[in-house]
Amino acid sequence: MPNNKDFSNALVDICVASKPVLSFMDGIVGMEGAGPSAGDPREVGVVIASTSPYHLDVVATSIIGLEPTKVPTVQRCVERGLCKGNFDDIDLKGDKIEKFILNDFVIPEIRSLDLLDGKIPKFLRDILNGFLQPKPVFIHEKCVGCRDCINSCPPQVIEMVENKPIVNLDECIRCFCCQELCPVEAIDIHRPLLMKLLSRL
Ligand code: SF4
Ligand code: SF4
């Protein structure tokens, strides 16, 4: 599911089907930047619990200074009527949440042009996507040849040549599992400049 909307819908499907009774988020030490392995630990000092995992996500995103309705999973929850996506509507108990809010938390960069959905015609968006897709770039000088990227690549489009990973970008689905799981941060995501500009729209 390389498309953000389908992927976030699938995550919400799983949550709805599993009907969690009580959800917790351990934010004592969070991770900012590009996770789950390439980010940086950040002390936040908070644990959140809620009978609604949807409201919990709204509060968590607000704590890291991110507008909840910009998060694809929260967007899907709002579309389905699972929550309103509005921090102010949520009844909070416990410590004052304001003291945990971080305005300088490093948010991961947007990795696709799904943010253009509904803003430009679909045919134009598909053309732009073809030209502007981010791509994984392997930094061979850092690579230690562990093969974790190969083992984690869903379509199996990475091969080892002389103990260095080479990717077939024509078959790459841009899931970035390789980048997330590389233990030595030897995989970068190259984003065309125009995509960076469009992601600010
Ligand atoms: S996961 Fe990283 S270190 Fe391991 S082979 Fe791939 S690029 Fe090299
Ligand atoms: S982003 Fe990485 S893991 Fe995903 S398909 Fe492309 S090469 Fe494979």
Per-residue pLDDT tens over the stretch 63-118:
999 999 989 999 999 999 999 999 888 999 999 888 899 999 998 776 555 656 66
pLDDT at 108: 79
Final residue of a domain: which of 77, 100, 123?
100
Segment 14-49, tens digit of pLDDT: 999 999 999 999 999 999 987 666 788 999 999 999
pLDDT at 115: 56
77 and 20 both lie in a single domain: yes
10 and 90 both lie in a single domain: yes
Question: Ligand 2 mean position to 144 CA, how many Å?
Answer: 18
pLDDT at 199: 59
8 and 67 both lie in a single domain: yes
Ligand at shortest distance from the CA of 189? 2
Question: Ligand 2 mean position to 104 CA, how many Å?
Answer: 30
How many domains in the chain? 2
Final residue of a domain: which of 100, 123, 139?
100
Query: Among the atoms of ligand 2, which is closest to the Cα of residue 173?
Result: 5
Identify the H or E element spanning 193: helix 193-198
Segment 163-181, tens digit of pLDDT: 999 999 989 988 889 998 9
Domain membership flag for residue 107: no
Q: Which among 146, 162, 164, 180 is the best mutation to test ligand 1's pocket, defined by most ligand atoms within 8 Å of the CB?
A: 146
Tell me the percentage of the chain whose pLDDT exceeds 90.
Answer: 62
Asked if pLDDT for residue 62 goes beyond 70, the answer is yes
What mean pLDDT is predicted for residues 153-169? 95
Rounded Cα distance, 69 and 85, in Å:
6
Residue 163 DSSP label: T
Q: Which amino acid is at 195?
A: M
For ligand 1, atom 3: residue with the closest CA:
143
CB atoms within 10 A of CB 95: 11
In CATH, what number is assigned to the domain containing residue 152?
Answer: 3.30.70.20
Residue 60 domain boundaries: 4-100
pLDDT at 189: 86
Rounded Cα distance, 19 and 148, in Å:
33
Instruction: Provide residues with CB under 6 Å of ligand 2.
Output: 136, 152-155, 157-158, 167, 172-178
161 and 186 both lie in a single domain: yes
Question: Ligand 2 mean position to 157 CA, how many Å?
Answer: 7
120 and 78 both lie in a single domain: no
pLDDT at 42: 94
Q: Whole-model pTM? A: 0.71
Rounded Cα distance, 20 and 187, in Å:
35
For ligand 2, atom 8: residue with the closest CA:
153
Rounded Cα distance, 11 and 104, in Å:
27
Contacts of 1 (CB under 8 A, 6+ apart): 7, 10
- ∠ CA(126), CA(192), CA(185), 5° rounding? 115
Domain membership flag for residue 108: no
Asked if pLDDT for residue 195 goes beyond 70, the answer is no
Q: Pick 58 or 7 by higher pLDDT.
A: 58
Question: Ligand 2 mean position to 178 CA, how many Å?
Answer: 6
Domain membership flag for residue 82: yes
95 and 168 both lie in a single domain: no
